[in-house]
């Protein structure tokens, strides 16, 4: 049965939800508070990462964050501030960072990422978006120290056990794989299972397609309230008007928790700010990489190379700390000594807020309290990678069909 669906949020998750809902015959409206040309869905590393099997909430992360708290240039930065929601989230994060919980999360993360990788291929093969970059060159985990190698080797062994394609490269093998750029690293673990895209290419193409097939897109329109009656959302009120729908999807990224509180729903969520710098000059880099000791990502995209990284918890703002952008430039040069990111490129650094749940797993599913509300948020650093599969799951939930995988681990009502 066709339904009228309002999607709050126009990032990768919102657009992919609209894509699959429209294909099933639903009438879809997307409402976004921005003009949908910036934010996390545009400035991320573009990774499709079955290899990212370990959630952000893992043993030692809180201690690392506290240690780095007073260094605003550190890769994992938590700005000291009085914020009850942040304190509560931090406590839940701490409770989630156990070996047992991480072990339970790993196979789930692997499964959902592999499904999403297949759905990226489905979108590409459909021709709906025309041509866009979708490559499967894998991901290099570059390391300088034995400590970093041993840390990643442990993850690689788990990934291999789960059936993902992984190999180890020494310096000579690395040079053969990346012959056009000097790399200062002892070696790499190569996750051949991974792929990558160009977000600034994919997002406009998806928007154009959705408009062509009749999806209504409301830009620069902020949701100010939700009216509830009889355990249903009756009306979505925005800065420009009021809307009714059979179903509502909350895919507002880092702002999802704030919107949920308007209807007395507790959705522990924090915005984790990431930075990226684009270098349009040739760099010689052809394979995506994570520079382990620098805690940053590098992606060869369509027309430029993107250097991205950092996780900054400092509230819902788009303030750019220059020292963090400079740290990315220095980290890149440390591993690629012939690559110099200049002052102008640093000055043009962009940021985006990634919605981070306390346990590093997304919120995907219906609310137990409101019968016509579906959550699709909280993906942390996997938002881009999991966009298509989240959209597919949302369409199955709203279509009252069995989901392509068990989503109990993603329940928005789970306890921490």
| 321 has a pLDDT exceeding 80 | yes
pLDDT at 363 over 70: yes
Which range, 53-57, 62-66, 166-170, is most confident?
A: 166-170
Give the count of beta carbons closer than 10 Å to the beta carbon of residue 264.
9
Residue 63 has pLDDT above 90, yes or no: no
pLDDT digits (tens, 9 = 90+) for 74-86: 667 777 778 899 8
Encode 309-340: b = buried (16+ Cβ within 10 Å), e = exposed: bbbbbbbeeeeebeebbbbbbebbbbbbeebe
- The answer to whether residues 89 and 416 touch, using CB atoms and an 8 Å cutoff, is no
pLDDT at 187: 98
Q: What is the mean pLDDT of residues 162-172?
A: 97
User: pLDDT class for 129, splitting at 50, 70, 90?
Assistant: very high
Q: Please compute the mean of the pLDDT values over residues 323-348 and round it to a whole number.
A: 96
- The pLDDT-based confidence of 65 (bands split at 50, 70, 90) is low
pLDDT, tens digit, for every residue of 140-164? 999 999 999 999 999 999 999 999 9
Domains along the sequence of the chain with CATH: 4-410 (3.50.50.60)
Q: What pLDDT, on a 0 to 100 scale, did the predictor assign at position 305?
A: 98
Mean pLDDT score, 281-291: 98
Q: Is the pTM of this model over 0.75?
A: yes
Mean pLDDT within 167-186? 98
Measured distance CA(311)–CA(354) in Å, rounded? 9
How many percent of the chain have pLDDT more than 90?
A: 88
pLDDT of residue 67: 61
Q: How far apart, in whole angstroms, are the C-alpha atoms of residue 406 and residue 408?
A: 6
pLDDT-wise least confident of 11-25, 64-78, 380-394: 64-78
In the predicted structure, residue 68 carries a pLDDT above the cut 70: no
Rg over CA atoms, the chain? 21
Does 69 score more than 70 pLDDT? no
């Amino acid at each position: 049965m066709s339904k009228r669906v309002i999607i709050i949020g126009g990032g990768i998750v919102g657009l992919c939800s609209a894509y699959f809902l429209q294909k099933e015959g639903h009438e879809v409206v997307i409402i976004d508070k921005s003009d949908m040309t910036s934010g996390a869905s545009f400035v991320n590393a573009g990774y499709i990462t079955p290899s990212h099997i370990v959630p952000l909430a893992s043993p030692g992360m809180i201690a690392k964050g506290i240690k780095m708290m007073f260094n605003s240039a550190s890769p994992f930065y938590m700005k000291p501030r009085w914020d009850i929601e942040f304190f509560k989230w931090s406590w839940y994060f701490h409770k989630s960072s156990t070996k047992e919980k991480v072990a339970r999360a790993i196979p789930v993360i692997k499964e959902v990422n592999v499904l999403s990788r297949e759905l990226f291929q489905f979108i590409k093969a459909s021709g709906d978006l025309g041509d866009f970059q979708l490559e499967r060159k894998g991901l290099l985990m570059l390391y300088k120290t034995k400590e970093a190698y041993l840390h990643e080797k442990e993850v690689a062994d788990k990934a291999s056990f789960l059936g993902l394609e992984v190999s180890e490269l020494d310096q000579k093998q690395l040079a053969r794989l990346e012959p056009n750029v000097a790399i200062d690293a002892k070696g790499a673990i190569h996750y051949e299972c991974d792929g990558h895209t160009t977000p600034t290419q994919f997002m406009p193409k998806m928007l154009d397609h959705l408009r062509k097939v009749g999806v209504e897109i409301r830009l620069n329109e902020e949701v100010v309230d939700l009216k509830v009656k009889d355990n249903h959302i009756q009306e979505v009120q925005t800065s420009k008007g009021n809307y009714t729908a059979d179903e509502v999807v909350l895919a507002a990224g880092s702002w999802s928790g704030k919107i949920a509180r308007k209807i007395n729903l507790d959705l522990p969520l924090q915005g984790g700010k990431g930075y990226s710098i684009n270098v349009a000059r040739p760099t010689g880099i052809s394979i995506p990489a994570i520079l382990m000791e620098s805690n940053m990502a590098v992606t060869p995209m369509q027309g430029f190379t993107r250097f991205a990284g950092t996780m900054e918890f400092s509230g819902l703002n788009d303030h750019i700390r220059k020292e963090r952008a400079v740290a990315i430039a220095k980290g890149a040069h440390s591993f690629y000594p012939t690559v110099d990111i200049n002052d102008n490129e640093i000055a043009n650094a962009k940021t985006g807020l990634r919605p981070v749940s306390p346990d590093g797993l997304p919120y995907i599913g219906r609310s137990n309290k409101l019968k016509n509300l579906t959550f699709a948020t909280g993906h942390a650093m996997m938002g881009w990678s999991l966009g298509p599969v989240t959209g597919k799951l949302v369409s199955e939930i709203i279509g009252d069909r069995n989901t392509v995988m068990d989503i109990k681990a993603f329940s928005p009502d789970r306890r921490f």
